[in-house]
Structure 1
């Protein structure tokens, strides 16, 4: 209808299942299964994959095999492997593998969550993130920065949009590959998402905006749609809808890759992901995890289906 926001022709899809999807799981997943998940994501068309995080294994035991995962990654020059890092030590570890193409740094919008997540203030987390991007660039890699708790904080509650926009403007000086807005506890709503994406785009012109939504309160897909209409060009999702944060009470799973792909592709927004393949990956992962995963498209008949002889 006339006056409706424009729909982009395509977005860039980032599969975060091997890292954010698995990091909060209590049952340790084998390195072999993690690599199989990466391989299935690639087979489905994913060309940017968050493969692991280089963090203290005592705090996040699921990611203790970061170097082993990197060592087993397939040689794919067409795939960008992302390693999440929280500090310079983590960045050094990631770069030392020789397999991480992009460092993912994290800063946090509030002091309360920054202290719980990284043991530092919000301002300190921003400075550390900018340093990580500089380290990546010096090593011939790229770095991106995610603003955690951008839509609300598990400890402080509401987060001022103006503060998040100002933080993004500061981060843009590091020349990151993108700035991501993360709804860490899944409290955002579509109107808020549209305002914040538009505000960050205006404050950091030329820097792509990436979005990362959790589906804690059932608003994840609506938030994805609001974000892409507002100009976000990169969308995170996790196969099966797995995910959560060890340091954010109540954080539930990410938006499911198969659900995001179904919604966007049906709406005419290309993702580069084969829906049948990503659903097959979700069903495989459900077997690995030993339970039905939250993603909905994998629990429904494939639609549309090609009917033989039709």
Structure 2
């Protein structure tokens, strides 16, 4: 199996925290994470401060970072075209991510737009990224089902993936926004989408309880997944989903599973330990 690439997700870990984390603390934490050697760092988002108050200082945080010390690519999340224009204007940002939901209810909750409108938004974002030399990444959120009763099936997910690919999207992440996935469901959906679209880079962004994380990771690895989104200590969740903020899968859990399989990560363990210690200042 190819080397597993890891996107560390401090943005996802921090965004639901109610008290404001000082800009200097965020920046110091991200600077430590840049030294670890993750493939990508989901560091912040260019979205409305009313929607996600915690991310209102993303531009300021960026100004504090020294990206020259790392080969890690910075990933910024956006919710509309204006956010994408802000993100691509920053030289250090290499990847622009957009949360596209296969659930109509959640798409409107998350971006205040319908699925049809969001497809138009994706088309514009892809064009903006390509003109500016950035990579557009689209999350298929609620990709493993939803709690709203909206229609869902692997075929529905595949249909939206097909539309995204036709727009020029080559980076897609299947996202389990509220932790509804099962090991069997992960194996089935990942295998189906990966087999249907062999030319794309397909990753997994899973939210899970700690007790279920290990089995989900094993199922994903067995299905051939080599791109994972995780967060140190397993913090995070989507504040727009109105669930109990089921967290990200902990980076430590993924690394343990990879270690047991004899798979190399290429990460700087000393730097990761330092970031883990500092995370107490971020998350308490």
Shorter-chain TM band: over 0.9
Q: Indicate conservation of the 8 Å contact 2:105/2:150, yes or no.
A: no
SS in 1 for 2:93: coil
Contact between 2:26 and 2:282, CA under 8 Å: does it hold in 1?
no
1:109 aligns with 2:102: yes
Structure 1 residues 206 and 264: CA distance shift in structure 2, 3 A:
same
What's 1:48 paired with?
Answer: 40
3-state SS of 1:269 partner: coil
CA distance in 2, matches of 1:154, 1:278: 35
Give the TM-score normalised by the residue count of structure 1: 0.85
Q: Does structure 1 retain, via aligned residues, the 8 Å contact 2:73–2:95? A: yes
* Unaligned 5+ runs, structure 2: none
Question: Structure 2 CA distance, aligned partners of 1:74 and 1:280?
Answer: 17
2:100, 2:196 → 1: CA distance?
Answer: 17
1:148 aligns with 2:141: yes
3-state SS in 2 of match to 1:51: strand
Query: How far 1:114 sits from its partner (Å)?
Result: 0.6
Identify if the C-alpha distance between structure 1 residues 151 and 279 changes in structure 2 by more than 3 Å, giving closer, same or farther: farther
Report 1:57-206 matches (<5 A). Answer: 57-76=49-68, 78-156=71-149, 159-206=152-199
How far off its partner does 1:29 sit?
0.9
Give me the TM-score of the superposition, normalised by structure 2.
0.93
Q: Secondary structure at the match of 1:255?
A: coil
Mapped to 2, the partners of 1:134 and 1:268 lie a distance apart of: 41
What is residue 254 of structure 1 aligned with on the other side?
248
Larger radius of gyration: 1
Given candidates 267, 272, 275, the residue that maps to 2:266 is 272
Residue 235 (structure 1) aligned with residue 228 (structure 2): yes
Q: 3-state DSSP class of the match of 1:52?
A: strand
| Displacement after TM superposition at 1:127 (Å) | 3.0
Aligned residue in 2 for 1:24: 16
- How many matched pairs? 282
Structure 2 CA distance for aligned equivalents of residues 23 and 9 of structure 1:
32
Tell me, yes or no, if the aligned pair for 1:262 and 1:275 is still in contact at 8 Å: no
* 2:103–2:151 Cα contact (<8 Å) kept: no
Report the Cα offset of residue 157 of structure 1.
6.3
Unaligned runs of 5+ in 1: 1-7, 291-310
Distance 1:262 1:277, change over 3 A: farther
